[in-house]
Amino acid sequence: MFEILNEPNREMDTAWNGLLAEALALIRKTNPTRNVVIGPPFWNNISHLPELKLPAADRHIIVTVHYYEPHTFTHQGATWGDPEWRNLSGIRWGAPADYAKLDENFDKAQAWAKQNDRPILLGEFGAYDKAPQEDRIKYTAAVARAAEKRGWAWTYWQFDSNFVVYDIDRDAWNTPIYKALVP
């Protein structure tokens, strides 16, 4: 598989459809049937799927989306990105409204996928390790199961570091997150 660009953003948001068409045309000259992963603008944000324009005749495209909603939960305490995240802590996830919002967002993406006859890959999701661990576990399990329920493949962000599922220094799994991903 190829992926043209992970998380197009900022100035690329408005130019993305034209750039991906050019890149895909180049790829197709030598790889006419290789699967290519392509996501929407704004960091492959699931809510920006309607902006994604793909060549209808090319059936070797897998659409990827990333899901970190709500960012106030998934990115609390993060030292990069939105400065508002740095000072957030103790934001909880797991109320019935949280699950309902997850289903609403994934249902919209699923409707887009059906309308456009495209498979979906949930290419990134997770919660920064500054979020309450019990809520990270609930969030991780809920997002993975919501993707599976819709027939989407998923990949967790990230193996080691601050969304950790595996601690390389200790050579050990973060067992609660691992079990949330693979029950």
One digit per residue, pLDDT tens: the chain, 183 residues?
Answer: 999 999 999 999 999 999 999 999 999 999 999 999 999 999 999 999 999 999 999 999 999 999 999 999 999 999 988 899 999 999 999 999 999 999 999 999 999 999 999 999 999 999 999 999 999 999 999 999 999 999 999 999 998 889 989 999 999 999 999 999 999
Residue range 2-181, CATH number: 3.20.20.80
The b/e string for 81-99 (b: 16+ C-beta within 10 A; e otherwise) is eeeebeebeebebbeeebe
Beta carbons of 33 and 67 less than 8 angstroms apart:
no
Apex CA 148: angle with CA 77 and CA 71, to 5°? 20
Give the span between the Cα atoms of 124 and 30, in whole angstroms. Answer: 28
